[in-house]
Amino acid sequence: MSRMTPLRSLLAVSLATGLTLTAAPALATGSTGFYLGGGVGQMHGDNDFDDEAELWKLSAGYNVGWLPFLDLGAELGYVNGGTLDGEVDGRSATLDVEAFEAMGVAGLSFGPLGVYAKAGMADWDVERRGAGLNRDDSGTDPIYGLGARFELLDITGRVEVERIDTDEIGDIDMVSAGVVYTF
């Protein structure tokens, strides 16, 4: 039977502690690199178009997950919404919305789980249609949101809530679920 010396015990404990401390931050960060994704969800209009419609979205971005528990990145997106029904000056009308988004993303990672916030600008276009109302509008306004993610290998599932904060057509709130793949 071999006997461990105090120096060997101290070395083994030091090595185990060092490996544990260096491995925890590596497991805590999200995937680093370029990603592409898509999602589906629902949008809700405001003011004259207080209605709900489906949406689909595409996104591309870059994430840096090299800081322990902190992810930083940038994301570009395209959102295409369905038709919101409403009433303008007492007449039925519809509103079709699409937007291009550019946002910064900051999040906290807890292993495969994470939460994040997004903020940036959205360049939106809308088509208003109805009796005596055929008008196209566009603008650039702030967009912000919150999300949660679950990562498995290079595939990440996400659930997000976003808002395009516009005065011209009212706020556009979006809830979506999607998947992104990190290269």
Which is more confident, 160 or 133? 160
Using the predicted structure, report yes or no on whether residue 27 has a pLDDT greater than 60.
no
Using the predicted structure, report yes or no on whether residue 178 has a pLDDT greater than 90.
yes
Q: What phi and psi values does residue 154 have, to the nearest 5 degrees?
A: -100, 5
CA distance 183 to 142: 29
CA distance 43 to 81: 7
Rounded to two decimals, what is the model's pTM? 0.79
The H-or-E segment that residue 49 falls in is: none
> Model confidence at 8, in pLDDT bands (50, 70, 90)?
low
- What top-level class would CATH report for the domain 6-182? mainly beta
Contact yes or no for 48/68 (Cβ under 8 A): no
> Model confidence at 26, in pLDDT bands (50, 70, 90)?
very low
Taken in order 128, 170, 167, 73, the sign of the CA dihedral is negative
pLDDT above 90 coverage of the chain, percent: 57
> Model confidence at 9, in pLDDT bands (50, 70, 90)?
low
List of residues 6+ apart from 152 with CB closer than 8 A = 112
> Model confidence at 11, in pLDDT bands (50, 70, 90)?
low
Of 1-5, 68-72, 97-101, the range with the lowest mean pLDDT is 1-5
Contact yes or no for 176/80 (Cβ under 8 A): no
**What's the pLDDT tens digit per position in 161-175?**
999 999 888 899 999
